Amino acid sequence: MDEPHPLPASASPGLASTRRSFLRQAAGLVGAAAVARPWLAQAEPAVTPAPVSPASTPGVSTITLKVNGTVRTAELETRVTLLDALRDHLQLPGTKKGCDHGTCGACTVHIDGQRALSCLTLAARAQGHEITTIEGLAQGDTLHPVQQAFIDCDGFQCGFCTPGQIMSVTACIAEGHTHDDGEIREWMSGNLCRCAAYPNILAAVKQAAGKGAA
Ligand code: FES
Ligand code: FES
C-alpha cells in the first residue's frame, strides 16, 4: 500500500495562490495603513486623558486632620473611619484595630481631649478637632507619666491593647475618675485586655494618678 505523500507545492496551486494573495493583501494593507496613518493622525488628534484626581472620584474627598499638633491631609472616601485613616493613610499605626466594632477599646484616641473610639468615628467628622494618638503623648524622649507607669508596673503582656489602655487612662485621670479601685475599674471597663493584665493596669493607673501602687 502506497504511503500517502504530503501534497507537493504544485499540487495545491489554489492554496499557494490564496496564501500568496493573502500575504500580498496583508502587505498592501500594512502599506496602506502606513500611508493612511498620517491622515488618521490628522483626522483624530491625540486626546490627552485628563489626569485622574482621587479627589474627583465619586465619594472621595480631601480630608484635613490635625493629629498630634500637625495638620495632615489625605484623599479618602467619606466612609473611611478615623482608625483606618490614621493607620493606613497617615502612617500612624500605634492606634490598634481590635474588634473594629466599638467593643474592645484598642482604637482609643483623644478628640479634643476626650477619649473616643476611632473605629466608630468617621475621619471626615474628625476634621476641625484636635486628635491625639499614642504617638503624640511623649515629649521627645520623655515618656508621658502614664506610659512610664505602664512600664514601671508591668502593665502589659502582649501589648496589643496597651496604646488604647494608655489613651483611656490619661483621659480617666483627667476626668477625675480615680478615687478608688472600683471607680477606676468602672471607668476603664471599655478597654479589654486579652492577656488579663488588669491588676497591673490598675496599679499603673494609680501610680500615674498619684494614688500609690495597688
Ligand atoms: S477596634 Fe475600636 S473598639 Fe475595638
Ligand atoms: S496586654 Fe495583651 S491584650 Fe492586653
pLDDT tens, position by position, 29-48? 333 333 334 333 344 445 66
Q: Identify whether 138 is part of a domain.
A: no
Alpha helices by DSSP H, the chain: 13-43, 82-84, 145-152, 162-175, 181-187, 198-208
And the C-alpha cell for 19?
Answer: 496564501
Interacting residues of 74 by C-beta distance below 8 A, sequence separation 6+: 62, 63, 65, 85, 89, 90, 123
Strand bridging mode 108-111 / 114-117: antiparallel
Closest ligand (CA of 84):
1
Q: Identify whether 35 is part of a domain.
A: yes
pLDDT tens digits for range 157-205: 999 999 999 999 999 999 999 999 999 999 999 999 999 999 999 999 9
Query: Cα of 106 to ligand 2 centre, how many Å?
Result: 10
Q: How confident is the model at residue 58 (pLDDT cuts 50, 70, 90)?
A: confident
Whole-number pLDDT of residue 42: 43
Cα–Cα distance between 94 and 91 in angstroms, integer?
A: 9
Query: Cα of 77 to ligand 2 centre, how many Å?
Result: 32
CA–centroid distance for 206 within its chain: 35
pLDDT tens digits for range 124-146: 999 999 999 999 999 999 999 99
Q: Identify whether 190 is part of a domain.
A: no
Q: Identify whether 146 is part of a domain.
A: no
Whole-number pLDDT of residue 201: 98
Query: Cα of 27 to ligand 2 centre, how many Å?
Result: 73
Q: Is 39 helix (H, G, I), strand (E, B) or coil?
A: helix
Q: Identify whether 177 is part of a domain.
A: no
| Structural domain span for residue 29 | 11-43
pLDDT tens digits for range 66-98: 999 999 999 999 999 999 999 999 999 999 999
**How many structural domains does the chain have?**
1
Q: Is the CB of 164 under 6 A from ligand 1?
A: no
Average pLDDT, integer, range 54-66: 85
Tell me what the pLDDT averaged over the chain comes to: 82
Q: Identify whether 25 is part of a domain.
A: yes
Q: Identify whether 57 is part of a domain.
A: no
The values of phi and psi at residue 86, to 5°, are -65, -50
Q: Identify whether 23 is part of a domain.
A: yes
